[in-house]
Structures are given as C-alpha cells and as structure tokens.
C-alpha cells in the first residue's frame, strides 16, 4: 500500500515535528503546494494520503478519515470513574495495578488505553498496518484533553509497527502478565461504524494457533482473545472459557496460564 504524507493547504513546508514523523514512519513526503487531496492522490498514485495537521496525522481515504481519538476509551473509563461500572475487558483479563500488558492488535488504541489506565503502567501495542500504527502513535503523542487521568493513560501506550507473530517469537518466556488479541472479527459487526477506516486499512488475517501458542509462552497470567459472542474462533484457538454478558455481542476467550 502506497502512503504519501503532506501538509495542510495553508503550510508550504513541513515543520520540525512533521519531519520527525516522516523520519519515524518512513512515509514519502509530497509537497502540498496548495493543491487538493484528490489532485495529490492522482499525481502520487498513492492509495492513502496522510495530512499532517496541528493535532496529529489524518488519513484521507475517499470520504473516510482516520485519526486518533480516544472517544471509546473515554466513554469506558468515564463509566468506571463516574458510575463504578466495571469494564468487561479488564474483568476478563484480570488486570490489576502493576501488571505488564502486551496488546497485539492496536487498531484505534481504545483497548490499549483502557488497559494502561488499569494496569497503571506502560502497555506495548503492536500494529501491522503502518498507516494505522503511525497515525495512532503520533495522534496519541499529540493528544491533550482537560482530563489528566485520560492523558496519562494515553501517554502510557507505546506503539510499535510490528506483526505480532514475529514480535512474539522474539520474546523470552513469561515476560508479560497479560497478552491480548483483538483481531478483525471473522464476521464483522457492521453496526460499529467507528472501525470502518480500520477495516479498510487493517490486516484481516485470522489469528493463528501458532500466534496463540507463542502468546501462551510469553504470558505469565493470561492470554485473552476478543471475538463475537459464540464465535467458533474461541474453540479453534484453544480458549478454555469465555467471558461476556448475554447483552453484549462481544465476548472474550480466556486462556489461563498455569505452570
């Protein structure tokens, strides 16, 4: 997938932070010169145009946009903080303060942020799509709200543009308390509009039993897999039990690590 990065129409040259972004991501720079996105797309023949804006990168794909926003994480954490509502992911993962967490599937980062809030430490989040990984990574770095508890959780998420299997294979045994996978569902929940740019750019390969085996080697406490309630994936991937309410279409497959 060809990605080119450009400035907004009002800027002529990339500023320092944008240069750092270009170095980090390795994306090609395409001078904006006041032209529209469609013209840049035609000239560069890129599949994806990334525009560097003041509060972070924005990906343009036809009528769709992808940029970092913590909306779902904010809603979930606010529900916990204001109403004491437990978060189903945190309950299923059994995350407690001090746990180390590896999130193998960053996406828009909502689950990573929620886990970072509850483990009160860093979360490493892997993402194989470079467009998603660098957009979310830099969007997270530049994000500032008026809620320090949210900003702190976001800043604890460290993003790496890596494939989870190759990364897991490089890790020693028992080095994370919890390893988490939220792969693209085999049968998507079409209601979830917020994930549609992620659906277009994300990796749809099913989770392999080899990756789950590696995760079990790397995890000390638990491996967790998110899928649709009742999905045959839970059995195929060796989950001993599942968690989730009858009112929720999303459940978690759980593998407890016992040694």
The answer to whether residue 160 forms part of the interface with ligand SAM (CB under 6 A) is: no
For the CB of residue 107, give the shortest distance to ligand SAM in the complex, in Å.
2
Q: List the one residue from 40, 108, 119, 123 that touches ligand SAM (CB under 6 A).
A: 108
Contact 64, 143 (CB under 8 A): no
The answer to whether residue 105 forms part of the interface with ligand SAM (CB under 6 A) is: yes
For the CB of residue 152, give the shortest distance to ligand SAM in the complex, in Å.
18
Q: List the one residue from 3, 50, 74, 111 that touches ligand SAM (CB under 6 A).
A: 111
Stretch that binds ligand SAM, among 45-53, 56-64, 142-150, 160-168 (CB under 6 A): 160-168
- Binding positions for ligand SAM, 32-91, rule CB under 6 A: none
The answer to whether residue 129 forms part of the interface with ligand SAM (CB under 6 A) is: yes
The answer to whether residue 110 forms part of the interface with ligand SAM (CB under 6 A) is: yes
Give the interface with ligand SAM as residue ranges (CB under 6 A).
104-105, 107-111, 126-129, 132, 163-165, 182-184, 198, 202-203, 205
């Amino acid at each position: 997938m060809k990605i080119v990065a450009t400035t907004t129409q009002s800027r002529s040259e990339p500023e320092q932070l944008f240069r750092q972004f270009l170095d980090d991501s390795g994306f090609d720079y395409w001078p904006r010169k006041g032209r529209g996105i469609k013209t840049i797309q035609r000239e560069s023949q890129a599949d994806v145009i990334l525009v560097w804006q003041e509060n972070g990168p924005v990906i343009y794909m036809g009528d769709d946009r992808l940029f970092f926003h913590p909306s779902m994480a904010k809603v979930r954490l606010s529900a916990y903080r204001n109403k004491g509502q437990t978060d189903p992911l945190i309950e299923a993962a059994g995350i407690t303060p001090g746990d180390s967490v590896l999130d193998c599937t960053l996406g828009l980062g909502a689950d990573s942020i929620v886990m970072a809030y509850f483990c009160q430490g860093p979360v490493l989040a892997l993402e194989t799509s470079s467009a998603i990984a660098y957009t979310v990574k830099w969007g997270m770095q530049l994000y500032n709200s008026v809620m320090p508890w949210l900003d702190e959780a976001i800043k604890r998420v460290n993003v790496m543009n890596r494939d989870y299997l190759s990364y897991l294979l490089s890790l020693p045994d028992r080095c994370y308390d919890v390893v988490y996978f939220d792969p693209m569902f085999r049968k998507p929940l079409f209601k979830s509009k917020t994930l549609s740019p992620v659906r277009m750019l994300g990796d749809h390969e099913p989770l392999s039993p080899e990756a789950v085996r590696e995760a079990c080697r790397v995890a000390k406490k638990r491996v967790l897999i998110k899928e649709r309630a009742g999905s045959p994936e839970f059995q195929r991937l060796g989950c001993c039990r599942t968690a989730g309410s009858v009112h929720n279409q999303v459940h978690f497959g759980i593998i407890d690590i016992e040694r």
